[in-house]
Amino acid sequence: MPIQRNIKSILALVAGGILPLAFAPYHIYINAIISPIFLFTICRNALAKQALWYGWLFGIGYFGVGVSWIYIAIHDFGHTSIVLALSITGLFIAFLSLFPAVLTGLVAFLFPNESKIKYLLVWPALWVILEWIRGWIFTGFPWLSLGYSQLESPLSNLAPILGVYGVSLAVTLSAGLIILAYCWKNSARFIAIGGLGSLWIFSFFLSYIPWTIPIGNQMQVTLIQGNTPQDIKWEANQVKLALEKYHQLTERHWDSDLIVWPEGALPVLYHQIEQGYLAHLEAEAKIHHTDLLIGLPFYNQESGKYYNGLLNLGTKRSFYYKYHLVPFGEYIPLVSYLQGIIDFFNLPISSFSSGEKQQPLLQVAGYPIAASICYEDAFGEEITKKLPEAKFLINVTNNAWYGDSLAPHQHLQIAQMRSLEVGRDLARATTNGISAIINAKGQLIATTEQFITTTLTGSIQPREGKTPYVFLGNDSIIGLCFISFVFSVIKNRRVAK
């Protein structure tokens, strides 16, 4: 028995470790089904304590590979020691691994006996509930939700109806149906195979539904990718170089309707260049009837607060301040308790304040837009609050913190999902790649290479209307999962009696 448990432990770790291969840049989306199949099978007939352990090991593999880039941000660009960077990254991975541990432990505890309902309702519903909780607890970390991995599979067509969590549900339900087809016999096997086929065929034909409609003419947009190295961008001599670089790259594209600079493109505060540099750019933009969006930090001299913001120059000068900040990256949660620890370890933490939750939509090239800054686009329901008024999406991002890692590819995949969910084109400008133009189907129309100074010019189509997901949000799918789980628990107890 100890040998068997050791083998299962190793298999759980490996099953979690191969799951990130389902996501960008690998796109082996079938792994998102294979990996849960291994986990569910390993936990068959396991005691709750054993299942908890298998789930935690699965999480160590899953997040240990999938978010290993956290180390790069802390060590390579945060300049902390190897030991401290490894410790912080390890603790973060260990914490995230508690979610699959809770999943397997709860299922084993509440459903110790094998049943069809366990694979049809319990595993899929609880998986999605815990993904959703991970997406909001402590401000949320929705990275690597299973649904993101399916952008190239037919299941992605469920996103405009049920969002990314609905796609996650379809993935885990597919895993459960495959287990049923293999383990059960007679009619149950045929029902499982039929259900699996119906789910995928139905999802495939959803791609033919035009959830939103184009309005007006296509717009020419240019994305500026300055590629200023993160570790030197704030040095005094780099400020002038950055100002000159972005100005020169922009001058070549005044024929575009919209020009977008990335998050934190300029390593200088807004009020320091408002009168000279920005006033000159604004005048040029008006002459050419072009709107220019610039990512840069703002300082409110009255309140003494700093904001990570987006400035619109052109038709009308307006601002958007980032609302959903990155904990321990842009601000310190529970600052009165943790400030001493942060100072002791000399961790690099910014001190940004959160913008208002409800801000007027930026008006760009005659259209209202849904703007987001970096990490904000990982929260689908926050984007839907700007719909259906917004006619297209803009995201500005600084991925330079993560170097040549999985993070920029995974983040681009998240941006694609946002376009697909709400049926809007998206223009995404990043500091050093991957900048992209994405259509309303979540498909990449054009992208840049990483780590080069370049521009990307293409067309985006303003659109109107709203997908079912814009109307329903996450409430419908999460509510369905809670009902399914509670129903299964009640039914299982009645059977046990």
Residue-wise pLDDT for 119-138, tens only, equals: 999 999 999 999 999 999 98
Closest CA to 53 of 114, 10, 3, 88: 10
Residues 6+ apart with CB under 8 A from 154: 200, 201, 203, 204, 207
Closest CA to 393 of 484, 332, 468, 470: 470
Active site residue 322: yes
> Phi/psi of residue 444, each to 5°?
-75, 120
All CATH 3.60.110.10 domain ranges of the chain, comma separated, are 213-466
Closest CA to 166 of 485, 480, 484: 480
Q: What single DSSP character describes residue 393?
A: E
From residue 423, alpha-carbon distances to 150, 151, 168, 210 in Å are: 17, 14, 19, 9
Contact 224, 265 (CB under 8 A): yes
From residue 491, alpha-carbon distances to 112, 122, 320 in Å are: 14, 11, 50
Q: What single DSSP character describes residue 493?
A: H
Task: Spot the catalytic one: 263, 376, 382, 421.
Answer: 263
**Tokens of residue 131, six digits:** 């993904």
Closest CA to 104 of 65, 25, 49, 153: 49
Q: What is the pLDDT of residue 332?
A: 59
Q: What is the pLDDT of residue 91?
A: 95
Residue 311 CA to residue 151 CA, distance in Å, equals: 31
Provide the residue-wise pLDDT of the chain in tens; the chain has 497 residues: 577 888 999 999 999 999 999 999 999 999 999 999 999 999 999 999 999 999 999 999 999 999 999 999 888 887 889 999 999 999 999 999 999 999 999 999 999 999 999 999 999 999 999 999 999 998 899 999 999 999 999 999 999 999 999 999 999 999 999 999 999 888 889 999 999 999 999 999 999 999 999 999 999 999 999 998 776 677 777 888 999 999 999 999 999 999 999 999 998 999 999 999 999 999 999 999 999 999 999 999 889 899 999 999 988 899 999 999 887 667 655 544 445 544 544 444 467 899 998 999 999 999 999 999 999 999 999 999 999 999 999 999 998 889 999 999 999 999 999 999 999 999 999 999 899 999 999 999 999 999 999 999 999 999 999 999 999 999 999 999 999 999 999 988 877 66
**Tokens of residue 236, six digits:** 């005094």
Alpha helices in 115-254 (DSSP H): 116-117, 123-134, 159-183, 187-205, 236-251
**Tokens of residue 469, six digits:** 């997901």
Q: What is the pLDDT of residue 225?
A: 97
Closest CA to 250 of 263, 240, 260: 260
> Phi/psi of residue 453, each to 5°?
-85, 120
Residue 314 CA to residue 259 CA, distance in Å, equals: 10
Contact 153, 206 (CB under 8 A): no
Query: Bridge-partner residues for 293, per DSSP?
Result: 260, 312
b/e per residue, 203-223, with b = 16+ CB within 10 A?
beebeeeebbeeeeeebbbbb
Specify the CATH class of 213-466 in words: alpha beta
Report CA Rg, the chain.
24
| Backbone dihedral region for residue 135 (phi beyond 0: left; psi -120 to 50: alpha; all else: beta) | alpha
Q: What is the pLDDT of residue 351?
A: 78
**Tokens of residue 140, six digits:** 């949320």
Q: What is the pLDDT of residue 341?
A: 47
Burial of 71 (0-12, 13-18, 19+ CB in 10 A): buried
From residue 471, alpha-carbon distances to 133, 222, 388, 465 in Å are: 21, 31, 9, 10
Contact 322, 309 (CB under 8 A): yes
Active site residue 43: no
What is the distance, to the nearest Å, from the Cα of residue 227 to the centroid of all Cα atoms in its chain?
A: 22
Helix, strand, coil percentages (3-state) for the chain, rounded to 5, are: 55, 15, 30
Closest CA to 397 of 384, 382, 381, 410: 410
Helices 475-496 and 123-134 meet at what angle, rounded to 10? 140
Q: What is the pLDDT of residue 335?
A: 47
Alpha helices in 395-461 (DSSP H): 407-422
- The one-letter code for the residue type at 167 is V
Q: What is the pLDDT of residue 441?
A: 97
Task: Spot the catalytic one: 43, 374, 376, 441.
Answer: 374
Task: Spot the catalytic one: 233, 245, 322, 386.
Answer: 322
- The one-letter code for the residue type at 59 is G
Residues 6+ apart with CB under 8 A from 202: none
Contact 380, 115 (CB under 8 A): no
> Phi/psi of residue 245, each to 5°?
-60, -50
Contact 16, 35 (CB under 8 A): yes
From residue 374, alpha-carbon distances to 13, 348, 355, 414, 431 in Å are: 31, 18, 14, 11, 11
Active site residue 374: yes
